A and B are shown apart, each in its own frame.
Chain A
């Protein structure tokens, strides 16, 4: 089973700043098989990024994903108030389980 470890657990930033969230895999993950989701309190997760770097429909271009192998990054430029949420990375390879990272909480400083 591939284990995904996200860092930091909590990130405190101000609106307008840049957020950099990390996701490290216990073994190499194909970059085509890595996604990022955003979840706000009381809401379902929302797909942000798939294939490590492709934005989902309707996602603003201030969200970007990068990385390969075991290290992946979600970057959010010019933070907006609505961006403060919990973010999860996920690998969805051909062999279940489809593991998620433990999440990074992005909070307002």
Chain B
């Protein structure tokens, strides 16, 4: 069965960096686009970043452009989110989500998330 397991979250000071990972299994990882979605404490869902199946296409929500970088390692079935210049407003649970197909498809599986807390 499909499994997505995020890791790498923790407490980090403002301005510092953090890298999240998402280990995928149970499907052909190299065939599907992937996303990162975040949820601030007590708030709704916010899409963060997208990457195509081959890593050639990437996109980001406006508030993280220039600070976050999404990438993937198809040989190790792993998705990444490199976060730099972190701000308090980046505090959230970060979920990786699998796209059913490519860029215009729904998110059919989600991981359990990893909590990032940006605080001094």
Contacts and interface: CB of A to CB of B under 8 A. Distances in A.
B27 interface: no
B54 interface: no
Contacts of A44: 95, 110-113
Contacts of B107: 35, 37, 45, 47, 90, 92
Interface of A: 33, 35, 37, 39, 43-47, 50-51, 56, 88, 90, 92-94, 96-103
Nearest to A43: B112
A51 B100 CA distance: 12
Interface of B: 35, 37, 44-47, 50, 59-62, 95, 100, 103-113
Nearest to A6: B44
Contact of B100 (A45, A50, A100): A50
B100 A98 contact: no
Interface of A is mostly: loop
B110 A98 contact: no
A88 to B, nearest CB: 6
Closest 7 CB pairs of A and B: A50-B106, A44-B110, A98-B47, A35-B106, A100-B45, A96-B59, A94-B104
Contacts of A98: 35, 47, 50
Contacts of A99: 47
